[in-house]
Amino acid sequence: MWAHGGLLYVAAEAGFEVWDPAEGARIGFAPGFRPTAHRDGAFAELRNDQLRIWTTPR
């Protein structure tokens, strides 16, 4: 779980969730993506010798 830019990012079993804590609502979902690292709005997952990166909108 990470916080960035006022939002909460969660690596869940089904995938990567983005939550707006002020609204208490999930506002984004990336199925199957489970990052293990975060830096400056970029989330990274290393799986099967492949690096996948998801970046937050600016």
Q: Does position 2 have pLDDT exceeding 90, yes or no?
A: yes
21: Cβ contacts below 8 Å, ≥ 6 apart: 6, 7, 8
Order of strands across the sheet that contains 50-55: 37-39, 42-47, 50-55
pLDDT band of 58, cuts 50, 70, 90: low
C-alpha span between 17 and 30 (Å, rounded): 7
C-alpha span between 55 and 41 (Å, rounded): 6
pLDDT tens for 6-51 read: 999 999 999 999 999 999 999 999 999 999 999 999 999 999 999 9
pLDDT score for 11:
94
Q: Does position 55 have pLDDT exceeding 80, yes or no?
A: yes
